Structures are given as C-alpha cells and as structure tokens.
Amino acid sequence: MDTIMSYLQNFGAIGLFLHALIDAVIFPIPAFFLQVSLSALHPEDAIGLAALGYAGCLIGTPIGYALGRTSGHLILNRFMKKKWLDSATALFQRHGEAAILIGAFTPIPFKIFTILSGCMKYPLWKLLAYAAIGRGAKFFIVGILFYMYGRAAEHMIDGMFGVILVAVGALFCTVWLLVRRFRKRKKPERAAVPVKES
C-alpha cells in the first residue's frame, strides 16, 4: 500500500484523481490522506487538487455501485465480519441517505458505501446526489483550509478536522431528517382534505 501511495503521489494532481476514483471502487486507503500530503506540498494548488479529487470520486461512485450490483455480497462477505455487515445493512435499510452523508464525511473508505448501495439496489441517482454533497464538502473544506492557511492547516486537520467533519455530517443528517419528517406530516394532511364533487 505504501508503494502504491508513493507511486500515486509522484503523479501529483492526476495521482489524486486516480486515488479518489479507486477509493470509491476498491482501494482501502481513503483519498483524503493523499489530498492532505499533496496540499501540504503545494498549498497554492489546494483548491484545484480538491476539484480533481472530487471529480475522481464522482466518476468512481457509479463504478463501485456497479461492482456492488454484480458481486458486492461476495466482496463484502470476504472483507467484512458478518455481524458488521448485518449491522451496516440494517442501518442502510433504515437510513440510507444519512449513512451515505455520514460516510462521505468520515475517513472510512467510500467504497463501502458505493458497494453496499449496489448490493441493496439503492437508487444510483440518490447515491450520486448524496455523494456529491458529502464528498464535495469534504474535499473542498480541506482545499480551502490549505489554500488559506498553507502548511499550518496540516496541524489544524490533525487536531480537530475529524471532529469538524463528523459535526458537519451530523448537521447535514439532522437537517435531512427534519425535512423528511416535515414531508411525511404534509402527506396525511393533503390526504385528509376532502375532494369537492363537481
């Protein structure tokens, strides 16, 4: 893995694009780590790096999804404990969107969410929409921090970035749950309105 990471780092921005793409498909090390190391070397290019990483992730997402549809259970059963897979499956069935949003913000390899989405035949357009929100925020928060603060951002990320990402992810999920609950309340109200006969 170290050899592959060093190889990708040698390609700079293109290496990050490729890493983000395969992170959404099968690679076990999140692209976040390569983004941080490249942004620390070239803070002036940090936002461009974020854009390339984001593009790679969005291109890789439907590939990971297709892998999940064709042989996802085989892959997940091979690399995950059964109790973890059962718990993740149950959570995903109840709160698919929230699981994707949280996963997009955390350092967990994003492939788990793309493959699991394919396994469970979760709508691809929803996966892409929530991945676009969550992954976009994550890549660009890192990019903006390095662009604004240079190498000093590395210490900020080491200290508080994980907490910030989880907090932002939780905020997104809370807003989403409130909107969903509001829509569910609206539907019974519409159904209760009597239809006037003409």
At 16-37, the pLDDT tens digits run: 999 999 988 888 788 888 999 8
At 96-145, the pLDDT tens digits run: 667 777 767 666 677 888 888 888 888 898 889 888 888 888 899 899 98
188, pLDDT greater than 70 = no
**Does the residue 22 lie in any domain?**
yes
Per residue, what are the HEC states of 94-152? Answer: HCHHHHHHHHHHCCCCCHHHHHHHHHCCCCHHHHHHHHHHHHHHHHHHHHHHHHHHCCH
**Does the residue 195 lie in any domain?**
no
pTM above 0.85, yes or no: no
For residue 78, the enclosing domain spans 2-96+106-190
Q: How many domains does the chain have?
A: 1
Is the Cα dihedral 18, 166, 67, 96 positive or negative?
Answer: negative
**Does the residue 88 lie in any domain?**
yes
